Structure 1
Amino acid sequence: MRALCLLCWAVLLNLVQACPDPCDCGEKYGFQIADCAYRDLEGVPPGFPANVTTLSLSANRLPGLPEGAFREVPLLQSLWLAHNEIRSVAVGALAPLGQLKSLDLSHNLISEFAWSDLHNLSALQLLKMDSNELSFIPRDAFRSLHALRSLQLNHNRLHALAEGTFAPLTALSHLQINDNPFDCTCGIVWFKTWALATAVSIPEQDNIACTSPHVLKGTPLSRLPPLPCSAPSVQLSYQPSQDGAELRPGFVLALHCDVDGQPVPQLHWHVHTPGGTVEITSPNVGTDGRALPGALAASGRPRFQAFANGSLLIPDFGKLEEGTYSCLATNELGSAESSVNVALATPGEGGEDVVGRKFHSKAVEGKGCYTVDNEVQPSGPEDNVVIIYLSRAGPPEAAIAAEGKPAQQLSGMLLLGQSLLVLFLACF
């Protein structure tokens, strides 16, 4: 038993004293240091003592950092990787280093970085990523770095910054972000405002300048003139058609999303039906209703036809197309969304009697709404509006009901069918 204990101690002692051949390991100022700088290394060598707290791999030829590259040294507090040839940092390369306080990745060629690994580095106080090829930083990249004091991102290829990128950095006192090719569009205005108001030291502000558009090239961000910017707004409308469009068998449901904003927002439709969710980037069809090249439908007319003017057409509307239709507008300043629920009312469901009774009850209370040229006028913001149309002027064989969001968002429903007829309108 005693011999086994001695063997275990010998193994442990050997692990503590181990050091990769190209490196020098030792203790200095109470820190366990592994110095592997200037060794012409092309990979992170194995065999480090588990108690290493400072590791220098600077000035080598490392091409990248693979997953688990530093699994042997979980107690690292300082990691120096400057002046290598690192192009990518894989997910899981840095995540095990939960005690890391200083990380230097400067003067490399990094364009792909595992930003999610930073979420585990809550003890980090210094992060140097300057002089790389970074072109994008996720909005939540620094969400866990509440102890970070110094951040260096200068001399990269950043064109834009998501609003709120630096908000989690409550301990930040120094930020270097000069010499990046910023696009001075509406999406960068927030950073100008933040930089002028923050107590964080931001040196070389004259070198935080615009590269585009051409008219602003070279303009320091701090002197950026006011830009005509506005967040998106949307209004979803649907009203009886008067345009004599081609009639097809069954119902044709048409919705229109009126979008405003600067820069001009990108419009998306989200359609939630019993069969699943369909996401559509508008437009997906041309003016003739045929699919555009690259749209989901390779040819012909898609099931949901999104036009460039903000309209969405659903030919042959049936039970499979019931659900929630939402239009979402997005630009650099944010997004806005409006939705409507659409259902098919079939004979025997009692839908007409139910809506009729609710309409009558509302009228008795002195509330309700009225129509002028089929425009909906809600009695209050709490109302929901239900409009039912028939596919024929004769006895009802099938009807469409549209149950909207708050009534002030609604202005009618556009239905193209055979001899469309407004049956009645109710607010409740």
Structure 2
Amino acid sequence: MKQLHLLWLAGFLGSVSGCPEVCDCGEKYVFQIADCAYRDLQSVPPGFPANVTTLSLSANRLGDLEAGAFEEVPLLQSLWLAHNEIRVVAPGSLTSLVYLKSLDLSHNLISNFSWNDLHNLSALQLLKMDSNELAVIPRDAFKNLGDLRSLQLNHNRFLTLVDGTFEGLTSLSHLQINDNPFNCTCGLLWLKVWAVATAVSIPEQDNIACSSPPFLKGIPLGRLPPLHCAPPTVQLTYQPNQDGAELRDGFVLALHCDTDGQPPPEVQWRIQTPGGKVEITSPNVGPDGRVPGVAGSPQPRFQAFANGSLLIPGFGKQEEGTYSCRATNELGSAEGSVNVALASPGEASEDALGRKFHGKAVEGKGCYTVDNEVQPSGPEDNVVIIYLSSTNPKKNKANSLELLGPWILLLCFSHLIF
């Protein structure tokens, strides 16, 4: 049906005449062809017939492609742009070409490509992007290219490819990815496994080789030795600044994010308080709690240390909220979260919340006190409640929790991998 619609459109638009003076336009084998190759062009010329289905602009000096560059020729099925000087393919430059089957962008200088434009090109069967300066492909770049049969990405600057990059290419039969400077770390192991298992033809596999790290340089990906790799894990725990001492509004809250994984994961803190959201992507203080290299600067409200600890001096109502620690490496992410609330017994809603977690501790699940750690029973068990209460120690009915000075601490942590 789509092909019939295309033929009807071509016939309807066939009466539109004209052709750029530097190009040759005509019909060949029912295709409307515009040949502009080898014309020393520096930009896409205007004035094409609207029914053009094949456009060759190869071997010119074309620069960056701008949005709407091919809106004059919406019926294109083949577009040849090889051997030019294109560095940037701007968003919107290709989106109008919904009938395009063949696209050749090889032998250019492209480092900035609008991958989202490919989402519109669902009819594409051939895509040549070899011999460019491309370094990154988003995981979903090819998600709508179910008809693509041949993909050429060789001779670019890819250090890695994200797991699942070729997942949506259900018709793919030919793939070239050789001669890229691959960094053979844990994040690229999936490609080795996929290349062995796939029915896709992948030529020059000995040239799909490691450029780094140095001890693997030159080794083909298919002969890569086993690497020690593990996805991240996270355990978020709490430590009061003075065990067993009287703690009141304004004490220091300390959280510790204990992570594991190979390669060692990077840690990010996400903090949501009534005043807004804070993200800390790297340590903001040195081991002494001061901002490094800035003499006399005030201490940050949230102090993130290199060892995974987060310190909140002067904790009060304004610091209530959700504290999340996220660990990420090449193999995935893990996150632990804890909700912190400051309350007084007499406030009905907070007392009810307290009774819920008292009950879980009595049952031996969900929470732990400072002296008694228990594994969490579910993702909802991630609340710290700090009670400011009377100075007389009490015990609950089950004799399982004790008021330490004027406070009770309940802590639950989440341990999620995805």
In the superposition, the TM-score normalised over structure 2's length comes to 0.85
Q: How far did residue 177 of structure 1 move? A: 0.5
Whether 1:367 aligns to 2:352 is no
Query: CA separation of 1:96/1:349 partners in 2, compared to 1, >3 Å: closer, same or farther?
Result: same
Counterparts of residues 110-121 of structure 1 (less than 5 Å): 110-121=110-121
Corresponding residue of 1:399: none
Counterparts of residues 16-95 of structure 1 (less than 5 Å): 16-95=16-95
Q: How far did residue 425 of structure 1 move? A: 5.5
Counterpart of 2:314 in 1: which secondary structure?
Answer: strand
Query: CA separation of 1:423/1:159 partners in 2, compared to 1, >3 Å: closer, same or farther?
Result: closer
Whether 1:376 aligns to 2:373 is yes
Q: How far did residue 378 of structure 1 move? A: 5.4
Separation in structure 1 between the aligned mates of residue 94 and residue 46 of structure 2, nearest angstrom: 16
AA paired with 1:37?
A
Whether 1:234 aligns to 2:231 is no
Question: Which consecutive unaligned segments of at least 5 residues does structure 2 have?
Answer: 1-11, 394-400, 413-418
Query: CA separation of 1:373/1:244 partners in 2, compared to 1, >3 Å: closer, same or farther?
Result: closer
Separation in structure 2 between the aligned mates of residue 283 and residue 424 of structure 1, nearest angstrom: 27
Separation in structure 2 between the aligned mates of residue 254 and residue 95 of structure 1, nearest angstrom: 51
AA paired with 2:372?
E
Separation in structure 2 between the aligned mates of residue 211 and residue 182 of structure 1, nearest angstrom: 5
Name the stretch that deviates more: 32-41 or 269-278.
269-278
Q: Is the 8 A contact 2:252 2:314 kept in 1?
A: yes
Corresponding residue of 2:301: 303
Whether 1:317 aligns to 2:315 is yes
Separation in structure 2 between the aligned mates of residue 190 and residue 40 of structure 1, nearest angstrom: 43
Question: Which consecutive unaligned segments of at least 5 residues does structure 1 have?
Answer: 1-11, 397-411, 413-418
Q: Is the 8 A contact 1:248 1:316 kept in 2?
A: no
Corresponding residue of 1:401: none
Query: CA separation of 1:329/1:353 partners in 2, compared to 1, >3 Å: closer, same or farther?
Result: closer
Name the stretch that deviates more: 14-23 or 309-318.
14-23
* Aligned pairs, number: 389
Counterpart of 2:190 in 1: which secondary structure?
Answer: helix
Q: Deviations over 1:60-91 (max 9, x none)?
A: 00011111110100100000000001111111
Separation in structure 1 between the aligned mates of residue 150 and residue 76 of structure 2, nearest angstrom: 19
AA paired with 1:322?
E
Query: CA separation of 1:173/1:321 partners in 2, compared to 1, >3 Å: closer, same or farther?
Result: same
AA paired with 1:367?
E
Q: Which has the higher strand share?
A: 1
In the superposition, the TM-score normalised over structure 1's length comes to 0.83
Counterpart of 1:191 in 2: which secondary structure?
Answer: helix
Separation in structure 1 between the aligned mates of residue 357 and residue 36 of structure 2, nearest angstrom: 81
Separation in structure 2 between the aligned mates of residue 37 and residue 347 of structure 1, nearest angstrom: 81
Query: CA separation of 1:157/1:425 partners in 2, compared to 1, >3 Å: closer, same or farther?
Result: closer
Separation in structure 2 between the aligned mates of residue 379 and residue 281 of structure 1, nearest angstrom: 27
Counterparts of residues 157-236 of structure 1 (less than 5 Å): 157-236=157-236
Q: How far did residue 274 of structure 1 move? A: 2.2
Separation in structure 2 between the aligned mates of residue 244 and residue 356 of structure 1, nearest angstrom: 20
Separation in structure 1 between the aligned mates of residue 264 and residue 375 of structure 2, nearest angstrom: 30
Q: How far did residue 422 of structure 1 move? A: 4.4
Query: CA separation of 1:51/1:356 partners in 2, compared to 1, >3 Å: closer, same or farther?
Result: closer
Counterpart of 1:313 in 2: which secondary structure?
Answer: strand
Q: How far did residue 238 of structure 1 move? A: 1.1
Separation in structure 1 between the aligned mates of residue 259 and residue 192 of structure 2, nearest angstrom: 27
Counterpart of 1:16 in 2: which secondary structure?
Answer: coil
Q: Is the 8 A contact 1:251 1:391 kept in 2?
A: no
Q: Is the 8 A contact 2:339 2:384 kept in 1?
A: no
AA paired with 2:177?
I
Corresponding residue of 2:277: 277
Whether 1:423 aligns to 2:404 is no
Q: Is the 8 A contact 2:341 2:384 kept in 1?
A: no
Q: How far did residue 136 of structure 1 move? A: 1.0
